[in-house]
Amino acid sequence: MALKTISESRCFGGVQGTYSHASTATGTEMRLSVFVPEEGTRRALPVVVYLSGLSCTEENFTVKAGAQRYAAELGLIVVAPDTSPRGPNVADDPAYDLGQGAGFYVDALQSPWAPHFRMYSYVAEELPALIATNFPQRPGALGIMGHSMGGHGALVLGLREQALFGSVSALAPIATPSQVPWGIKAFSAYLGPDAALWRPYDATALIEDGHRRADVLRIDQGEADKFLGEQLRPEVFAAACERAGQPVEVRRHPGYDHGYFFVATVIGDHLRHHAELLARR
């Protein structure tokens, strides 16, 4: 569980750091960014994990979202891991939506991906243990959120790992990956042609198959998002939740696209949502 410090900088009274460690889940060196408010020097704090989208690293969210100001005010530690394993011996693909940078938060079953592409286990098991060991986390106070591919990951992990994650939210998530081109391509490569093996990694399918949370699933979506109709489909997820009686809130924002200006616009509301729910744990 040893961390290597890549950089640390003062930020809104706290420390914004970038770190790496040898991952047992992926068999590679993994990077993550962590913001710890100044309050973390005096007491243990809740933690929110942010999962980034296709082609991103841990840096995109860290430098573009403006989360540190809100996290400092709310007393939240914010952790942003990389989106996939990386390295010269890790399988890759020329396309941006497969391979390194596109882990899709699944545990791959197919060659050549299976040896390293185990992002589900990394986020569900290794990363929480790493955080608890190295940072001042209040025991049991862990939330998860994400954007696009990371929103898919956050919804799936939040539904499957309820004992671990006390709060869940998503920004422009790939909400029904088994029915859209990005998800079909990734799941076919990583998991194989049997669609039954895709269902544990599809938030809509998880709702259909009986997974529930007592708290509201918060989603924000820009209406000018060019990926909305073909790749994201939050209305399909919302309809499944309505049929199942799962509380969900999909807030739509006219004029906003898929990028980090949208993320920066709503990040404060999401972190306040997590702070409120995690305060109860």
Hey, which residues are catalytic here?
A: 148, 225, 258
Which among 94, 90, 70 is positioned nearest to 82, based on CA atoms? 90
Place of tokens 């007491």: 43
Is the CB of residue 144 less than 8 Å from the CB of residue 120?
no
**3 state DSSP class of 176:** coil
Residue type, 120: Y
Structure tokens at 209: 């198959």
What DSSP string runs through 22-73? E-TTTSSEEEEEEEE-GGGGTS-EEEEEEE--TT--HHHHHHHS-HHHHHHH
What is the maximum alpha-carbon separation in the chain? 51
Cα distance between residue 220 and residue 209, in whole Å: 24
Which among 6, 23, 29, 159 is positioned nearest to 89, based on CA atoms? 29
Cα distance between residue 277 and residue 204, in whole Å: 23
Cα distance between residue 30 and residue 20, in whole Å: 5
Number of neighbouring beta carbons within 10 Å of residue 88: 5
Cα distance between residue 15 and residue 35, in whole Å: 6
Residue 121's Cβ-count burial label (10 Å; 0-12, 13-18, 19+) is middle
